[in-house]
Amino acid sequence: MQRHVVAVAVTDGAPTFELAVPCEVFGIDRSDLVDPWYELRLCAAQPGPLTTATGLIVPTSHSLDELAGADTVVVAACSRDVQINPPAGLLQAVRKAYEMGQRIVSICSGAYVLAAAGLLDGRRATAHWMNAMDFSHRFPDVEFDPTSLYIEDGTILTSAGTGSAIDLCLHLVRQDFGSAVANEVARRMVVPPHREGGQAQYARPPVRVRRTSDTLAPVLEWARRRLHEQLTVPQLAREAGLSERTFARRFREALGTTPLQWILQERVRLAQELLETTDDPVESVAQRTGFGSATNLRYHFGRLTGVSPQTYRHVFRHRAAQQRRGASASGPRAG
3-class SS string, the chain: CCCCEEEEEECCCECHHHHHHHHHHHHCCCCCCCCCCCEEEEEECCCCCEEECCCCEECCCEEHHHHHHCCEEEECCCCHHHHHCCCHHHHHHHHHHHHCCCEEEECHHHHHHHHHCCCCCCCEECCCHHHHHHHHHHCCCCEECCCCCEEEECCEEEECCCCHHHHHHHHHHHHHHCHHHHHHHHHHHCCCCCCCCCHHHHCCCCCCCCCCCCCHHHHHHHHHCCCCCCCCHHHHHHHHCCCHHHHHHHHHHHHCCCHHHHHHHHHHHHHHHHHHHCCCCHHHHHHHCCCCCHHHHHHHHHHHHCCCHHHHHHHHCCHHHHHHHHHHHHCCCCC
Which long-range contacts link 88-92 to residues 24+ away (Cβ below 8 Å)? 89/45, 89/64, 90/9, 90/11, 90/45, 90/46, 90/64, 91/116, 91/117
Residue 147's pLDDT is 80
| Percent of the chain surpassing pLDDT 70 | 87
Report residue 296: phi and psi, to 5°.
Answer: -65, -40
Residue 18's pLDDT is 93
Report residue 200: phi and psi, to 5°.
Answer: -60, -30
Whether 295 has a pLDDT exceeding 90, the answer reads: yes
Where do the structural domains in the chain lie, given as residue ranges? 5-199, 216-322
Average pLDDT of the segment spanning 9-14:
95
pLDDT in tens, 158-205: 998 778 899 999 999 999 999 889 999 999 998 877 665 455 545 555
Average pLDDT of the segment spanning 134-158:
90
**CA dihedral for 68, 71, 72, 78, sign (positive or negative):** negative
Whether 44 has a pLDDT exceeding 70, the answer reads: yes
Closest by CA position to 62, among listed 46, 41, 86: 41
**CA dihedral for 88, 89, 93, 99, sign (positive or negative):** positive
Task: Identify whether the C-beta of residue 220 lies closer than 8 Å to the C-beta of residue 265.
Answer: no
Angle at Cα 164 formed by Cα 62 and Cα 274, nearest 5°?
A: 155
Whether 14 has a pLDDT exceeding 90, the answer reads: yes
pLDDT in tens, 120-129: 999 999 998 8
Report residue 213: phi and psi, to 5°.
Answer: -130, 110
Report residue 325: phi and psi, to 5°.
Answer: -65, -40
> What's the topology of domain 5-199?
Rossmann fold (3.40.50)
Q: Could you count the other beta carbons within 10 Å of the beta carbon of residue 165?
A: 30
pLDDT in tens, 199-230: 554 555 544 444 445 568 889 989 999 999 99
* pLDDT grade for 272, boundaries at 50, 70 and 90: confident
Q: Calculate the CA 34 to chain-centre distance.
A: 31
Taking the model in full, what pTM does it have? 0.63
Assign domain 216-322 to its CATH superfamily: Homeodomain-like (1.10.10.60)
Whether 327 has a pLDDT exceeding 50, the answer reads: no
Residue 195's pLDDT is 63
Name residue 168's beta-bridge partners.
none
